[in-house]
Structures are given as C-alpha cells and as structure tokens.
A and B are shown apart, each in its own frame.
Chain A
Amino acid sequence: MRHDKGKTRRTTVSRRDVLKSAAAGAVVLGTSPFSFNIARAAGDPIKIGFPVPLTGPYGSEAKEQARCAQMAVDEFNAAGGMNGRMAELLVRDDKLKSGEAAKRAQELIENDGVHFVSGSLSASVQLAVNTICKDRGIPYVSISQSDAINEEKHFSKYTFHEAMNPHMTAGAVGRYVFPRENKRVAFLIADYAYGHEMARGFKRAGEEFGIEVVAEVKHPLATKDYSTFLPRIQAAKPDVLCLCNFGYDQMNSLKQATNFGMKERMRMVAPALLYNQRRAGGADAYSGVVGGTNFYWGIEDTVPTAKAFNDAYRKLNDGSPPSDYGAYGYAGVGGLLKAVSAAGTTDADAVVAALENLKYDLYKGQQYYRQCDHQSVQPVYIIESKDAGDQADEYDVFNVVYEETADEKMLRTCGELGHG
C-alpha cells in the first residue's frame, strides 16, 4: 500500500526549509499594509476617496465623473495645492452596489487614510457611503440625485449633496411646462425610489397650476417593452406626459412612445434629460422632449466658468464637451478642494465649516450649500431636445430654453425635512 512509502522518507525539517518559509513569511508581512496610518505628516497629499460604479449600467457616466474629478484635482495641484500640499484622487469601483460601496468606503478610510470622500451614482449607494462616512467623521460630498439624503434621518454635519435632487429638478421642469400646456397630465413612473421622488416633485409643482392627473402608470425598473403601459396612457388622453424614469428606461420608453405616435398628441417631459442618453438614443426619439439638467455645455455663451470648464475638458478629450453627470464630479471635488484651501487644513470640522460658508462658481454659476441640510443651491436649466436638422454638430443636441436661478425656494423647507 502507498502509506508504507512515507515511512522511509526523511521527516526532519531542513535548514533550507526554515529559510524558505522565513523568506515567504517576510514577503507576506512586508506586502501586507501593517502600518497604514502611522505617517500622516503635513507633507502628505490631501486624499479624496471617489467610489463610483465603473462597471455596470452607469459605467460610462462613472468614468466621466472620475475624469472630471481628476481634472479638478489637477487644476488644484497646478495652482500650487494648499500651501504646496498636493491633492490625490483615489477612484474605486462600487459596482453600483451599496454593500460593495460601504466596504470600499471603509477601505478608503481605514487603509488609504482618505481625508474626504466624494462620488457614487445611485440613491441607495450614496446613502450607504454616507452612513460609513458620517459614523467616522469623514466629510462626504455626494454627486448623485437623491431626496432622501437631505432628510434629517440621513443627515449629519459631514453630509453634503452637490447634485440636484429630484424634487428641485422635477419641480423646475414642472414650473416651466405646466403654465405653457393644458392641464391634463399623465405619469409614467419607474417603480423605485427615484421614480417616485420625481413624480412627487412634479405633482407638488403642479398644484399651483391646478393640474389634473389623469393617469399614473408604474413600470418595473429596466423594462424593455412598454407596449402594455403606453396604451393606458393614450386612453387617458393627457396633454402632458411626465417620464419619471432614468437612463435606458427613459430612452426605450421614449422610442416606443414616438413609434406609437404619441408625440403628436401630447408634450413629453423628462425631469432628468441626460446628454449621453440623448446622444445614444438619437434625435428622432428625443426631438421636442423638454427636461431639466444641472448642466449643458451650451450655457458657455452666457456663463464664463462653463466656458473655462468646457475648454479644459475639450483639450483633454479630443474636442468633445463634458456631460451633465461628469460636471457633478468636477464640482463635487472642486468645491471640496476650494473649502480645503479656505480652511488651510484637512481637519474635518474646519473643512465642514469652510464648506458651509463657501460661495462657489465652478462650472454653471453661483452655488452654495444650504445651512440646514447641506444641499447645494444651484441654477436648474430647462432644455429642449433638437431635431436632427437643427444640430450644428453631433454635440449640439439641446436648446437651453430657460434658467431657473439658484434659490432655496426650489427646495423643500428645512422643517419639512425634519431639521429642527
């Protein structure tokens, strides 16, 4: 039997074996980050963690956000940093999952010793990152739309929200559209938090114009076929259809509604009308659709900072202008670094105080963080998608039809959000 063989073998441990295992042990210990934040001296870089969903359905937006955030860091460093102290951006893939994002945020804080965190591109993921950061006293600037993050339940002094929220986006679009159209309004709603939040914002804005909700159709997230939902809307004969969905859902529902000939009978409105989605979906599906955005490159004619931001971006990206969500990455990190410069330190509480007092114009006009919920008060642009024939080039896809100037009236009141 086989087991006899072993008895003749040497069973002592040779010197070479000891050396080998000692060497292996040394390598393991040497590579493991034993002493992760011993040296956080003054000369160290200002570290900003940036978890975004590089993989998954929002991958292209996330990469753009990371590019723009890096631009903000590079500009800060080129200007000499904070008294010579440079900034560094640590991009991580959160895979569009809150659990992964929470783990990544912990990694960034405990392992890389980041001073600040920005990023994320989904309502649920930003709430997870916010929980991790606020528990550890790390300032977090969220750059993705959410209503919940403003509410007292999720808020802490370390929580900042640079992105617009669905309430202000949908509200601004509603205030533009409802007085200009007839009053029968239908809603197509993606059945999740963001969809509901947008529909709520629309209805609130519609109250003062006396709109009549004639249909409210919910569809599951990531629906491909809208042929069962659209006839119910057609039957209600609305004058306005509000598309409270996002990304591919918005593109697919618009394409099919166009095929159904619904555009001739009603005005299509999408609160978050995205630049990348419009370019992917084509002029036909989108033409005549009205929506809201934080940024469209075309505002550069009137806004000098937009011009500077566009030019810097074009230089790095073969002449193509930045997108709306990319701009959030630039503003989130750029605003943070402005506050660091103002505070003259990376101390969390000092930077929070500086952020609260910050007035900044990085890419679209004046902005500031509201005291009670740290929501960025900012202009909202109302845009209308162009026909193919009216486009000067492939990037020229929207007309800016209205600008709602930065005003706290766009937001829910502090009391309503539960802030004392």
Chain B
Amino acid sequence: MNKPMDNVAEVQISGRRLAGLVRLIAEHRVAAVIIFLMVFPFLAPYKALAIDVLIYGLFALGFNMVFGYLGVLSFGHAAFFGAGAYATGIAMVHFGVPWMPAIFVGVLMSGLTAAIMGAMAIRTRGIYFAMVTLALAQCVYYIIYHMEEYSGGEDGLTGVSVRTVDFGIATVDMMQDPMGKYYIMLAFTAVAIFLFSRILNSPFGAVLEAIRENENRARACGYNVLLTKWVTFVLSGLFCGLAGALSAIHLSVVPIEYLHYHQSGLAVMMALLGGMGTFFGPFIGAMAFLMLEDAITLMTTHWQLFLGAIFMIFVLFFPRGIWGSFLHWISR
C-alpha cells in the first residue's frame, strides 16, 4: 500500500511554488485544517450542510485510522457512529443529562462497542474481518431496533433538541443561529483532529503503519500486533462515536438508518474518494461527496447514477483519491 502522502517533508518535495506552501501546511496540518474549517461555512451552500461535512469528515477520518493507517477494511463502523448518536440521544431524552456530558456518554458507549466488537473481530483478516465487523454491526442494529422504549425503534429517536448553549459571556441559539451551531461543532471537531494527529505522530502511530506495511516484520520486531490492532479499533470507534454524538445534536433526531450498513459503506466511500492514505483525504472525501450529492439531487432524481459514475472514475483513474492525487501531483 501507499505510504501516507502527507508526510511531505520526508518525501523531499520541492519545485513548484505550491510545494513550499504544502510543506508548511503539512508541518502544521492541524492548524491548516482548522483554519480551513473556520472559513468553510462561508463557502458551503448552507450551514446545515457545512455541519454535516464536519460530522461526516470526522466519521471518515476516524474510520480511516483503521482503513488507511492500519490497513484493514472494517465494514462495521456504522455501529460506532450509531452507538454514539443513540447513547447521546438516549442520555438526553430519557435521563435528562445535559448535552455536554451526554456527548461524553455517547463517545464512551461507542468506545465500549468498539472494544467488544474489536475483541471478537481482530483475529480475522482481509475479507473475513470485513464480514465479521459487518455481522457484528448488524447485531448492534437489531439490538437498538428492538430497544423500542428507549431508541424509538423504527421511528428513530426524536426530541434530542439543544435549544441554547450558554457560555456565560454569550448565548448561542442553536435553533435560529446555524452559524453559532457550526462553530460549537467545530470546537469539538478541532480537538478531535488535534488528538487524531497526535496519535498518528506518536510512536504508536508508527507501529500502525509498520503493521500495515508488513505485519510479520512488525511482530518480529517485538510489537504486540493484536493488541495494537485492538487499541486502534477502539480509538477509531471513539472518533466515529463523537461524530455520531454531534450528529444527534445537529439533527435533533437519531434515525435508525445510522446503524444500517449503508452508513459503513458511506465511510468507505468517503475515505476512498478523498484518499485513504492521507491525513486530510477522508475529510475532503466527505466534503466532495456531500456537496456533490446535495448539488446533484437538486437537479435530478437520478443523483445515484451521477455519483456512482464519479466514484467509479476515481476508483479507476485516481486510485489515490482527490486529496491523494493532488498531493501526488504537486510533489512530483
């Protein structure tokens, strides 16, 4: 598999003017991403979509820890997104927990789900890993589907409404001020992106890539491969859980389709579209996917046809994805 393209400094690029800028960005990737996301709502067609990009960007980013960095394909990440969303919603609706602690409950629950699923799935590889994670995620789907009293079952969970957020100095009306809501969501996302980057830059992150490149060699070097995989799976689950928790607050509802395997497929698609081997690629993938989908659905009801064609073009001709191809192009 490809080496992550964003460690541009190591790749010794230079040349085009852009490259200098890219190196600067690569060295401060978290700051660059956050600055970009701060101006993003001004570029998006509407704020609810901008918030969706944040949420799905984070979801794809978290998924990519397992997919792009550890190098295994999970088809069960909907379970973490859904567990985060449902746990946050249920804590708020049924137990009256304030929204901030409820987000932590959501993240913890998705971490727990990932720990259990990971423990069962991590010994398998390749297609078997994908199938086991898919099956376990379907189990989570049915458990929550049948917890009708708490989850609302088929109807989904409604009433996860945060009306105002009070900071002492300022109050944000979450219902009437989508811009304020965006920046609150961004605060959570920014912290998550920072932590994510720190994890990947740590020695632990290096072990991840070592396992991806050659699992046997990593084992021979004395690393505990199984434990590393499991911890990565759980960490990835935590990030996806945060995305789910934020989404529950964003939409005020938790639909059962969050746990559907389509949701897992969405993460795979976004990561591939943006560039699975890159740090920021999944975010770009989520952005491209959601904005294209939004634009095309307004024009035609055959949006799936166009989106499918675009996806196929990328898989066939730009296997590095949008961001991966871009990085490759400027660092030639």
Nearest CB in chain A to that of B17: its residue:
A11
Nearest CB of B to A325, in Å: 17
> Among B16, B43, B52, B161, which residue has its beta carbon within 8 angstroms of that of A28?
B43
**A1-20 to B contact mask, C-beta < 8 Å, 1/0:** 11101110111010000000
Stretch of B195-203, B250-258, B277-285 with 4 or more beta carbons under 8 angstroms from chain A = B250-258
**B98-110 to A contact mask, C-beta < 8 Å, 1/0:** 0000000000000
Q: A33-B45, A102-B252, A106-B48 are in contact. Are A135 and B154 (CB under 8 A)?
A: no
For A11, the chain B residues whose CB sits under 8 A away are 17, 20
CB pair A148–B155 under 8 Å, yes or no, is yes
CB pair B14–A107 under 8 Å, yes or no, is no
A240 to B332 Cα, complex, angstroms: 75
Q: A103-B49, A110-B47 are in contact. Are A128 and B16 (CB under 8 A)?
A: no
CB pair A128–B46 under 8 Å, yes or no, is no
- A2, A29, A59 interface centre (most CB from chain B within 10 Å): A2
B1-46, CB < 8 A from A: 12-17, 19-20, 42-46
**A102-139 to B contact mask, C-beta < 8 Å, 1/0:** 11001100110000000000011001101110011000
Stretch of A92-100, A275-283, A307-315 with 4 or more beta carbons under 8 angstroms from chain B = A92-100
B138 interface contact, C-beta 8 A:
no
A192 interface contact, C-beta 8 A:
yes
Q: A6-B15, A54-B301, A193-B153 are in contact. Are A107 and B46 (CB under 8 A)?
A: yes
A111 to B301 Cα, complex, angstroms: 21
> Among B155, B178, B255, which residue has its beta carbon within 8 angstroms of that of A106?
B178
B325 interface contact, C-beta 8 A:
no
A32 interface contact, C-beta 8 A:
yes
B163 interface contact, C-beta 8 A:
yes
> Among A7, A59, A132, which residue has its beta carbon within 8 angstroms of that of B252?
A132
Q: A11-B20, A93-B297, A131-B158 are in contact. Are A34 and B255 (CB under 8 A)?
A: no
A55 interface contact, C-beta 8 A:
yes
For A123, the chain B residues whose CB sits under 8 A away are 154-155
A102 to B175 Cα, complex, angstroms: 13
A154 interface contact, C-beta 8 A:
yes
For A54, the chain B residues whose CB sits under 8 A away are 301
> Among B16, B45, B156, B252, which residue has its beta carbon within 8 angstroms of that of A124?
B156
Q: A3-B14, A55-B301, A110-B178 are in contact. Are A124 and B155 (CB under 8 A)?
A: yes
The 6 A-B pairs at the shortest CB distance, nearest first, are namely: A98-B255, A6-B15, A106-B48, A111-B46, A3-B14, A102-B251
- Please report B residues at the A interface, Cβ cutoff 8 Å: 12-17, 19-20, 42-49, 52, 153-156, 158-159, 161, 163, 175-176, 178, 247, 251-253, 255-258, 297-298, 301, 303-304, 332
Other A-B pairs beyond A99-B247, A128-B253, 13, CB < 8 Å: A1-B12, A3-B13, A29-B42, A59-B301, A99-B255, A110-B48, A111-B45, A111-B46, A127-B155, A127-B158, A131-B161, A132-B251, A135-B163
